[in-house]
Amino acid sequence: MTIKEASEITGISIDNLRYYERIGLIPEVPRTASGIRDYDEMSLHWIDFAMRFKRGGMPLEAIREYIQLAINGEETKPARKEILLEAKEDLEKKMAEIQESLDVINYKLDIYDKKCEPITIEMVNKWKEKQREIENKK
């Protein structure tokens, strides 16, 4: 398939597909006899694989290193595992930070429903009462 078709399927721009191949983020894409990229199912698999890591926050250099190691064969398994363990640790840290932020938001929402909203209603009622007093003095 053409790079345009691969772009449409993956949702990645043509420029980014070329860039990812150039920097080794995805393995070299097969080419036709005339040198035109000819994406196949394996190419799409590598793109999906790399983008999953990217969406998880893995640095491009780490993804590139992992893929290059994978291409180099089974003897690179320990190094690839180390990259995965580092990525896992980073994700777990980010997830903990996100959970902490979510906990604060949930706490604030709980307080809002129990305390802030009644206080707001009370303030609005006092303001309306004050407005009525001002109107009655006129």
- The whole-number pLDDT of residue 103 equals 95
DSSP the chain: --HHHHHHHHT--HHHHHHHHHTTSSPPPPB-TTS-B---HHHHHHHHHHHHHHHTT--HHHHHHHHHHHHH-GGGHHHHHHHHHHHHHHHHHHHHHHHHHHHHHHHHHHHIIIIIHHHHHHHHHHHHHHHHHHHHH-
CATH architecture of 1-72: Orthogonal Bundle (1.10)
pTM metric for this prediction? 0.67
Which is more confidently placed, 115 or 25?
Answer: 25
The predicted model gives 62-82 an average pLDDT of 95
Q: What mean pLDDT, rounded, does the chain reach?
A: 92
pLDDT at 117: 74
| Domain boundaries along the sequence of the chain | 1-72, 92-138
Give the whole-angstrom CA distance, residue 108 versus residue 116: 9
Q: What is the pLDDT of residues 1-44, one digit of tens each?
A: 999 999 999 999 999 999 999 998 899 999 999 999 999 999 99
Does position 66 have pLDDT exceeding 80, yes or no?
Answer: yes
